[in-house]
Structure 1
C-alpha cells in the first residue's frame, strides 16, 4: 500500500474526544487550489478620513469635462481611486470547503498583513501545539477556536440569515441547511462535447449562449429615424435631492456591481455624492448617451433544473447602482409618476 498511499499522519482529536485522528491520503489526490477573495475594510477611522476628503472635494474634473463619457470616467476614476486609498482591500486565500462565517466578516481577520482568517490561523496554531506535544497549549487553542466558531456562526446568522425568515423563507431554509452542513453539492453544468472539469470552456459556452440573445437582433439604423419625434413631455431633468433620496434608499446588504463601490459608502455619503452624480445623470439624459460603466454587469448563471443543463439556466446580474438610479428616473418619466415624491 506504500505505493498508493502516503505515510499516515496523526492529527488532533475531534471536539472533546480523547482519541487522535489518523489521516491516510492517497498519492494521486487532486490538488485543490485556493481562490483569492478581496475583502473591503470599512473601519471607523477610515470612514472619518474619507468623509473629510469628500466634503472638501470640489469635483471640478467632472464639471469641466465635455462629453458624457468623459464626465462619467472622471467621476468613477475619482471615486474608485479614493475608495482604494481610504478603504484598503485585503486579499484572502479561501477554499471551496471553507464555511462562509469563517471567511466572510472582516473582523474575523488577524491583521492587514495576514492572508488567512483569524479562525484558520488559530487552527494552525492548535496543530503546531499538538505536534509539539504541549497539551496545555493545545487545549487553550481548542477552547478558543470553539468560542470563535460559535461567535462567528451567531454573527453570520444575525447579519445574513435571520432577515430571510420572513421575506424569503426558502432562502432562509437553504442557509440553515448550509450552517448544519446538510446541503447537497451543486451539480456541474453539462456542456455537450466538452468535459465538465474544463471551467473555461463551460464559461465561454454559457457566455456565448446568453450573448446570442442580443446579437441576433439587427443593429438600429439611425438614418431611418424621423427627424422629428413628438414628445408630450420634456427630457427628464433630475434634482440633487432626487438623487440623494435614491442613494439613501440603497440596500446595504446587497452585493456591489462591477465597479466594486460598496453600498455602505453610497448611503453614508449620499449628500456629498448626489451633486456630481446628478450632473452626470442630467448630461446623460440630455445627450441620450449611457456611460460605458453603467452597461457592465457581473452575470451569474443559476440552474432552473437538476441536473443542471445549458438550456435551463437563468441569469442573475449585478449591475452598477448608478445605472439602476438612472433607469429608475427614466421609468418614472415614461410612466409620468408624479406621486413618487409623496411616497418618499
Structure 2
C-alpha cells in the first residue's frame, strides 16, 4: 500500500489521482482515441482520396488546388451515377418498368406529393372520396355548362353543306390503327389500344363503316363523346380551383378525329397565311424567329444606304 505524505494537499492528490489510477486510464483512453482518429484518417485517404485531398487543401487555404479537386469530385460523382444507371437502372426499363420508374424517382430525388385535393366547401368531408369527386366533377363541368348549346338553325351559311362528307377507305383506317401507340391510356369504352393495333386488319372494315356512317348521318356516337377526366393539379398543395382537366377519350374517336383533321387541313392549306407557324406540321416557333430575324436584317440593310445627319 502506498504511504501517504504528511502534507494534506499532497495526500489528497495521491488519493484522487495516483491511487485511483486516473492517470493510467486517461493515458490509455487518449492513446486509443488518437489511434482511432489516425486509422479513420488513413481510411478516408485510401477509400476517398479526392474528397480527402479536397478537405485537406481547404484547411490549408489553397484555393486553386481546392477548386481543381472539387471539379474532380463532381466529375467522379457524375461518372458514378452514369455507371450506376447503365448497370442497375437502365436494364429495368424492359424487364421491370415499375421498379425502373421508382429507381428513377429515387435517383432524381423526386418525392411523392400528396394526391389529395382540397375542396373549398366546408360541408364536404375530405375523407368522403365520392363527395370530393362529385365536387370536382361539378366544378369542371361548370365551364362548359355556362354556355348555351350550339343552335344549328343559326348556321344557314354552312348547313346543309353543298358538298358530301368525305368517305374513307379501309386501307386508310388500317394504317391509322396500325400506328396506334399501345402505351397510351384507353378511354371510357375500355378497349385496350393493344387490341386495336394487333387486330388492325380485322377491325379496319367495321371501323371504316362506323366512321363513314357517322359522317354521312352527321351524328357522333355517344360513346365517342364521353371521356375519363383526370384532374391534374397545377400546384401543390392541390386545390379545386387550380386543376388542369386531362380528358382520356376513346381511341376510335381519336382515329376518326385525326382522319377528319387531315381532310380539313388539306382544304384550308392554300388559304393559310405563309406566316402561320402555329399548329402546322413541319414548322415551329423557330421558323417564326428566323423569319423575324430575316425581316429585321433586311430593314437594316436598306437603312444602311441612308446617311444619318442627326437632325429630325
TM-score (norm 2): 0.51
> Residue 156 and residue 224 in structure 1: after superposition, are their counterparts in 2 closer, same or farther (change >3 A)?
same
> Residue 304 and residue 228 in structure 1: after superposition, are their counterparts in 2 closer, same or farther (change >3 A)?
closer
Q: Say whether 1:285 aligns with 2:223.
A: no
Q: CA deviation at 1:251?
A: 0.5
Gaps of 5+ in 2: 1-87, 270-281, 283-312
Q: How many angstroms apart in 2 are the aligned matches of 1:207 and 1:284? A: 29
Q: How many angstroms apart in 2 are the aligned matches of 1:286 and 1:309? A: 44
Q: Is the 8 A contact 2:118 2:126 kept in 1?
A: yes
Q: How many angstroms apart in 2 are the aligned matches of 1:301 and 1:230? A: 38
Counterpart of 2:119?
A: 191
Q: How many angstroms apart in 1 are the aligned matches of 2:235 and 2:176? A: 36
- Structure 1 residues 1-344: aligned runs within 5 Å: 154=92, 159=97, 176-177=104-105, 183-192=111-120, 193=122, 194-226=124-156, 229=159, 234-336=164-266
Deviates more, 1:312-321 or 1:179-188: 179-188
Superposed CA offset, 1:4-28 (max 9, x none): xxxxxxxxxxxxxxxxxxxxxxxxx
Q: Secondary structure at the match of 2:239?
A: coil
Q: CA deviation at 1:279?
A: 0.5
Q: Is the 8 A contact 1:236 1:329 kept in 2?
A: no
Q: Secondary structure at the match of 1:299?
A: strand
Counterpart of 1:92?
A: none
Q: How many angstroms apart in 2 are the aligned matches of 1:332 and 1:292? A: 23
Q: Is the 8 A contact 2:196 2:203 kept in 1?
A: yes
Counterpart of 2:68?
A: none
Q: Secondary structure at the match of 1:315?
A: strand
Gaps of 5+ in 1: 1-149, 163-171
Q: CA deviation at 1:314?
A: 0.4
Superposed CA offset, 1:233-280 (max 9, x none): 541211101100110010011222111111111111101100001001
Q: How many angstroms apart in 2 are the aligned matches of 1:160 and 1:275? A: 37
> Residue 329 and residue 182 in structure 1: after superposition, are their counterparts in 2 closer, same or farther (change >3 A)?
closer
Higher RCO (C-alpha 8 Å, min separation 6): 1
Question: What is the Cα-based RMSD across aligned positions, in Å?
Answer: 3.3
Q: Is the 8 A contact 1:247 1:266 kept in 2?
A: yes
Q: How many angstroms apart in 2 are the aligned matches of 1:267 and 1:160? A: 23
Aligned residues: 180
Larger Rg: 2
Q: How many angstroms apart in 1 are the aligned matches of 2:255 and 2:99? A: 27
> Residue 322 and residue 187 in structure 1: after superposition, are their counterparts in 2 closer, same or farther (change >3 A)?
closer
Q: How many angstroms apart in 2 are the aligned matches of 1:179 and 1:312? A: 29
> Residue 199 and residue 179 in structure 1: after superposition, are their counterparts in 2 closer, same or farther (change >3 A)?
farther
Q: Is the 8 A contact 2:92 2:99 kept in 1?
A: no
Q: CA deviation at 1:157?
A: 6.5
Q: Is the 8 A contact 2:115 2:238 kept in 1?
A: yes
